[in-house]
Amino acid sequence: MDKKCTKYEALFTFGTEEDLMAHIEQCPDCAKEHEQMQKISSLVQEVKPYYKKRRKNTQVFKIACTLLFLIFGSLSFTFMNTDVSDTLKYGTTLSAEDLGLPVDSYGLIMVE
């Protein structure tokens, strides 16, 4: 069984372009691997514009979601927090006595 040449990856990663091309001319295993890499590279270049377009749309979506979260988060904080909403509506925070509940001398709700 013939051993396959394993120099292509090392030359591609660490070698110079001239060394890689010289080796590809001499080695059929590496020439075949180089041809496959060129096909993959052309496919990547073909889909590159679509990927960039999709990425831009994703950023717009993230910005829109962040803005909606901030708007609805601040609104829910304002209207879920009774002290804030009472201050906005009545100018002061309403107590239990203001709401008509029975309270003791300390302002705590009395249970009868």
How much of the chain exceeds pLDDT 70, in percent? 77
- pLDDT digits 0-9 by tens, 63-77: 888 888 877 776 666
Against a cut of 0.85, is the pTM above it? no
- pLDDT digits 0-9 by tens, 14-54: 888 898 889 889 988 888 888 988 888 888 888 888 766 66
Q: For 18-80, give the secondary structure using H, E and C.
A: HHHHHHHHHCHHHHHHHHHHHHHHHHHHHHHHHHHHHHHHHHHHHHHHHHHHHHHHHHHHHHH
The confidence score (pLDDT) of residue 86 equals 67
Domain boundaries, the chain: 7-80
